[in-house]
Amino acid sequence: MTREARAFWLRSPGVGEIRSTTLPDPGPDDVLVRTLHSGISRGTETLVFRGGVPTDQYATMRAPFQEGDFPAPVKYGYLNVGVVEEGPAALLGRTVFCLYPHQSAYVVPATAVTVVPDDVPPARAVLAGTVETAVNALWDAAPLVGDRVTVVGAGMVGACVAALLARFPGVRVQLVDADPGRADLAVALGVEFASPTEAVTGRDLVVHASATSAGLQRSLDLLAPEGTVVDLSWYGDRSVNLSLGGAFHSGRLTIRSSQVGTVSPARSASRSYADRLALALDLLREPAFDALITGTSRFDDLPDVLDRLAAGTLPALCHLITYDQE
């Protein structure tokens, strides 16, 4: 039986479209998933939409089920939640998360999906990939009980990091962003909020997620001696300028990168990619994460939505795409 689905493609930088696609027949170890929701990872996906992936990062930036190549045409995305309609009996009818692009239905190996806990709403579950990034970052950062921690950049990744840090005993978390409207988000996550100029200094750890030179510089400026900035930002083809005079050397400050493509060395001997994603979905039982979903659109509107997100005319953290009409 021929099965058809519809998928979002970037036809050329800045131009998206919906295309029809024929699904393969599922094999004995595959699942056929009907998509309920997908989420737009704003920072990465708008960078891809603009054609801003550096040529030397084409291989590194490939999504697990990407089709096509950068800069375009390319089918890209990795926050997908759906229902298994065909596959092994243990998965039939289950809601699952998959690192799959924006597509109304798809066939993947059963090992590529992770079951969403029954008490995690499917819409919230699209955040699993971002919470997984936050988990990996905190494995890298290794905050200690009682640490003074700041998160600079209240986007999807920064907000997820702040939400997890709020659970650490004795840790006082401050979320810093240039947009005063993010103060309500901080309240929902249970952390303090400050503008960059009002941020508290003397921090043991700063997690940077603003994807700007100014944000990274401010992160360094907030550190106590021997402090560390863990940088989660993806800058694409943009240059980053820093002033490393002043306290950078005398204070023995550290900048280290963290990237979700590799399980943190601190846990790689005992945790797999599957373990990390399952943990992220388990953590999404916390209703506070709902504050990160700031808009909803139909799948048919996705080309326009990504254009507006990339242009900055549609403010959002995680923008949810719904497929109920398919």
- Note the pLDDT of residue 245: 87
User: How far apart (Å, rounded) are the C-alpha atoms in residues 210 and 232?
Assistant: 8
Non-local CB neighbours of 322 within 8 Å, separated by 6+ positions = 36, 37, 296, 297, 298, 299
Whether 310 and 14 have beta carbons less than 8 Å apart is answered as yes
- SS3 string, 158-202, reads HHHHHHHHCCCCCCEEEEECCCHHHHHHHHHHCCEEECCCCCCCC
* pTM of the full structure: 0.92
Angle (nearest 5°) at CA 148 between 142 and 152: 85
Whether CATH 3.40.50.720 fits 132-257: yes
Q: What is the mean pLDDT of the chain?
A: 95
- Note the pLDDT of residue 326: 43
Query: Would you list the domain boundaries of the chain?
Result: 3-127+284-322, 132-257
- Note the pLDDT of residue 235: 84
pLDDT, one tens digit per residue, over 123-151 is 999 999 999 999 999 999 999 999 999 99
pLDDT, one tens digit per residue, over 160-177 is 999 999 999 999 999 999
Rounded average pLDDT over 269-276: 96
pLDDT of 253 higher than 70: yes
Whether CATH 2.60.40.1180 fits 3-127+284-322: no
pLDDT, one tens digit per residue, over 39-85 is 998 888 999 999 999 999 999 899 999 999 999 999 999 999 999 99
